[in-house]
């Protein structure tokens, strides 16, 4: 039986100070962000996911983007070493949470850097974005951790967005979706579908054909519904101002051993 647990982490009161790399800074409404986060968590629960709250990291503005701190493969948790030094303290609470869930824990060590947002898993293929926050040593360590377990790690260049998953995610059938102007090399993916909006590039697979998506991508939602999927829309406008998307706000644990 696959597991349906999702790690989430409450936004820091300092959320508005979060890092912005590829977009202009906009004012973040911290109260609205908390409401949107609660709506996101509620949506996961409503679709059969058990949410596990990681202890908040109030001094870390970006800590709500919990996906960046750990990469899961089977029941192994690889604790990352974020490329932005200001984010490295975020990993501590996450390490405790995955250990409590019975995961086997590994780490990315100096000089490696790796952000979880740079990792896209499709079956046993793990795509890793080599770009702003993930370096070559981080890619090598990811390979060393997961290839012995049966994964095939494929490194792809990322230069137009913050993370690989800011550019592409995958549908339940393994088709990679992305907004062409933001994708460095669409040809590296065996099946690629171009979507009309940047925010439409991000889906979280809820199970069945249900796709958690941002409300800011209505045209993409329409396109995917027409292909027989069921978009489930959430408003995450305040997180989008910090280059966040639906994938960054949780870590889905699908293969925990009972």
From the candidates 60, 103, 245, 248, give the one annotated as an active-site residue.
248
Cβ partners under 8 Å of residue 132, min gap 6 = 21, 83, 158, 159, 162, 163
- DSSP-H helix ranges across 4-149: 30-46, 91-100, 136-146
d(CA 10, CA 115): 19
From the candidates 60, 163, 179, 245, give the one annotated as an active-site residue.
163
The dihedral sign for the CA sequence 158, 164, 169, 175: positive
Active site residue 22: no
d(CA 152, CA 148): 9
Question: Other C-beta atoms within 10 Å of 108: how many?
Answer: 25
Cβ partners under 8 Å of residue 169, min gap 6 = 120, 176, 177, 178, 201, 202, 203, 204, 247
96 and 119 in contact (C-beta within 8 Å)?
no
Residues labelled catalytic: 163, 248
């Amino acid at each position: 039986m696959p597991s349906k647990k999702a790690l989430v982490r409450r936004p820091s009161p300092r959320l508005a100070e979060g890092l912005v790399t590829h977009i202009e800074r906009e004012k973040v409404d911290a109260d609205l962000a908390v409401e949107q986060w609660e709506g996101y968590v509620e949506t996961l629960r409503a679709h059969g996911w058990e949410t596990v709250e990681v202890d908040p990291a109030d001094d870390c503005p970006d800590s709500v983007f919990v996906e960046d701190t750990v990469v899961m493969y089977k029941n192994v948790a690889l604790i990352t070493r974020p490329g932005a030094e200001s984010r490295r303290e975020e990993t501590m609470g996450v390490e405790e949470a995955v250990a409590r869930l019975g995961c086997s824990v590994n780490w990315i060590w100096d000089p490696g850097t790796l952000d979880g947002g740079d990792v896209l898993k499709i079956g046993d293929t793990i795509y890793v974005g080599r770009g702003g926050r993930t370096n070559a040593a981080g890619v090598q360590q990811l390979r060393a951790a997961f290839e012995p377990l049966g994964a095939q790690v494929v490194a792809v260049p990322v230069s137009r967005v913050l993370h690989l998953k800011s550019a592409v995610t995958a549908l339940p059938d393994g088709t990679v979706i992305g907004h062409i102007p933001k994708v460095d090399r669409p040809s590296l993916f065996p099946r690629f579908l171009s979507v009309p909006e940047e925010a439409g590039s991000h889906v979280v697979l809820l199970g069945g054909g249900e796709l958690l998506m941002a409300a800011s991508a209505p045209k993409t939602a329409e396109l995917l519904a027409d292909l027989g999927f069921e978009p489930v829309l959430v408003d995450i406008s305040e997180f989008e101002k910090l280059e966040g998307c639906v994938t960054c706000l949780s870590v889905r644990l699908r293969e925990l051993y009972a």
